[in-house]
Structure 1
Amino acid sequence: MIVVSAASGAFGRLVIDQLLARRPADRVVAAVRNPNGAVDLAARGVHVRLGDYDDPATLRTAFKGADRLLLISSPELEPYRRARQHQAAIDAARAAGVGSIAYTSFLGADTQADGVTAAHHSTERTLLASGLPHTLLRHPFYSEAFLNPGLHAAVASGELADGTGGRGINTAFRSDLAEAAARVLTEDCHIGRAYDFTGSLWTYNQLAHALSRISGKPVAHRDRHDRAPGVQGWLEEQVRAGALEQQTDDLEHVLGHPVTTLDQAVTAILTQPAPPTAGPALE
């Protein structure tokens, strides 16, 4: 039995899709905070169980009978509470007799114990101390934070502006990361491994060229020196500082095929109708 925690989120649902292509539905469990929000998964034959990171008793029940568990990191933003939720999930997995855990960590969590990686660093140490067989899936930022329907506006205006200073970006798409997670859960060669997942490096200048080539309309790239509002501004600062330039072939190795390319992503975005209001989104 394979259990996926936080399975009703965008990433969890993609993992479920991939698992159903590899295993019978009655061998897949979706552990969710609100079972009423996962009726579509139940309709596909997936076992839906209550599994709330803030209620350890529900986790022990949700994880019962699991040969393998995908522990998707909590959406909680406060690092201490997030780490405590993960601790509760790992304790519940041990109590339930889970065979092994795959955990969605974050790039740099093995060496950095503050900021974005704080809770992940703590959770990796907790997993190691637990004695449970496990696999670490260290994710980069999602490509969707940068490559999304908001690009229609750049094609319409003929200009793509950004504040990344021309630095490389190593994001990966949820779909590739979900397939990799499903492979780790259904193959026998990954336990004990720690993977640093990244996509291929790309830049905004390359993105402008791709938009021009695929749309058939000229899109000029412009360096923007003012800070973008909200989360996008923070992300651009991270890129400009070189924080998103680490690159490995771990994701391609686990997938067994190339990751989604920039041209493939742009083509998929531009073939969909432009939304009434489009903008970058992390989720």
Structure 2
Amino acid sequence: MIVVSAASGAFGSTVLELLADRLPAGDIVAAVRDPSRATGLAARGITVRRGDYDDADSLRAAFAGADRLLLISSPELDPERRTRQHRAAIDAARTAGVKAVAYTSFLGADTPRPGMPDAHHATEEALRDSGLPCTLLRHPFYSEGFLDAAVLREAAATGTLPDGTGGRGLNTALRADLAEAAVRVLTEDGHLGRAYDFTGEPWTMPRLADTLSRLLGTPVTTAERAEPAPGARGMLEGLVRAGVLERTTGDLRAVLGRPATGLDDAVARVLGIAR
């Protein structure tokens, strides 16, 4: 039996869809904070259990009988609370007799540094200390965070794609590719004890402009943004300008058994263009 925690989120839902293509629905358990919001899963024959990262008893009950657990990282952004939640989930998995854990960590979590990866680094250490057989799935940022459909359509309409990256590279990956990799780790042998550093095909904003030009048949060029983008977008672009997202590995390709989805196909998917 495979249990997926935080299963009602976008990533967890994608994992469940792919798992259901490989396994009988009765062999899959979705652990969610609020089961009343997961009636669609139950209708498909997937067992739904309450599993709240802030409720250790619910986690133990949700993980009971699991051969493998996909521990999807909490959406909580506060590193201290997130670390507590993950440690509670690891303790619950050990108590419940879970046989193996795959954890969705973050690229670079093997080296502690200030910011979001801190909780992931602490969680990786907690998993190692737990004695549970585990696989670390270190994710990059999702490509979808940079491929906003509204922004791409406006760029096509105006011929200009605002760029705050300084032309530096991005090693993002589509959520669907990362979900497929998780499913392979959960359902195939040979992954226990491994730590995978997942990255997709590297790309740049000028290349994205070229892709839009080709796919839509209208010239698009980049224009350096005078002011940082608001909110999370500006933070992400700052990381790109610093070169943080230029590291690439072959791990995602190796686990998928195929190349990760390329930029052309990713943009076509975001814009709903048939290829």
Q: Which shifted more, 107-116 or 195-204?
A: 107-116
| Secondary structure of the structure 1 residue equivalent to 2:30 | strand
Q: Which shifted more, 97-106 or 107-116?
A: 107-116
Separation of aligned partners in 1, 2:140 and 2:221:
27
The code of the aligned residue for 2:130 comes to S
Aligned to 1:193: 194
Aligned to 1:91: 91
Separation of aligned partners in 2, 1:75 and 1:51:
14
| Secondary structure of the structure 2 residue equivalent to 1:81 | helix
Separation of aligned partners in 2, 1:59 and 1:113:
29
Aligned to 2:229: 228
Aligned to 2:159: 158
Aligned to 2:66: 66
Unaligned runs of 5+ in 2: none
Correspondence 1:1-283 to 2 at 5 A? 1-150=1-150, 151-271=152-272
Separation of aligned partners in 1, 2:57 and 2:11:
24
Deviation at 1:214, TM superposition (A): 0.5
Unaligned runs of 5+ in 1: 273-283
Q: Which shifted more, 49-58 or 213-222?
A: 213-222
Separation of aligned partners in 1, 2:100 and 2:269:
36
TM-score (norm 1): 0.95
| Secondary structure of the structure 1 residue equivalent to 2:215 | helix
Separation of aligned partners in 1, 2:140 and 2:161:
23
Separation of aligned partners in 2, 1:55 and 1:211:
46
The code of the aligned residue for 2:68 comes to R
| Secondary structure of the structure 1 residue equivalent to 2:101 | strand
| Cα RMSD (Å) | 0.8
Deviations for 1:25-75, whole angstroms, at most 9, x for unmatched residues?
000000000001110111111000000000000000000000000000000
Q: Which shifted more, 148-157 or 182-191?
A: 148-157
Deviations for 1:145-189, whole angstroms, at most 9, x for unmatched residues?
001312111111111011100000000110000000000000111
Asked if the contact 1:215/1:270 (under 8 Å) is kept, the reply is no
Separation of aligned partners in 1, 2:270 and 2:2:
32
Separation of aligned partners in 2, 1:269 and 1:85:
33
Deviation at 1:224, TM superposition (A): 1.7
Separation of aligned partners in 2, 1:189 and 1:40:
33
Deviations for 1:187-227, whole angstroms, at most 9, x for unmatched residues?
11100000000001100000000000000011121122321
Provide the aligned length of Structure 1 versus Structure 2. 272
Aligned to 1:277: none
Asked if the contact 1:113/1:122 (under 8 Å) is kept, the reply is no
| Secondary structure of the structure 1 residue equivalent to 2:45 | coil
Separation of aligned partners in 2, 1:174 and 1:92:
27
Identity %, equivalent residues: 64
Asked if the contact 1:160/1:222 (under 8 Å) is kept, the reply is yes
| Secondary structure of the structure 1 residue equivalent to 2:244 | coil
Deviation at 1:258, TM superposition (A): 1.0
Aligned to 1:276: none
Deviation at 1:270, TM superposition (A): 2.8
| Secondary structure of the structure 2 residue equivalent to 1:14 | helix
Separation of aligned partners in 1, 2:47 and 2:95:
20
- Which aligned runs of 4 or more in structure 1 are off by greater than 3 angstroms? none
Deviations for 1:99-127, whole angstroms, at most 9, x for unmatched residues?
00000000111112421111001000000
Deviation at 1:269, TM superposition (A): 2.5
Asked if the contact 1:53/1:88 (under 8 Å) is kept, the reply is yes
Deviation at 1:21, TM superposition (A): 1.0
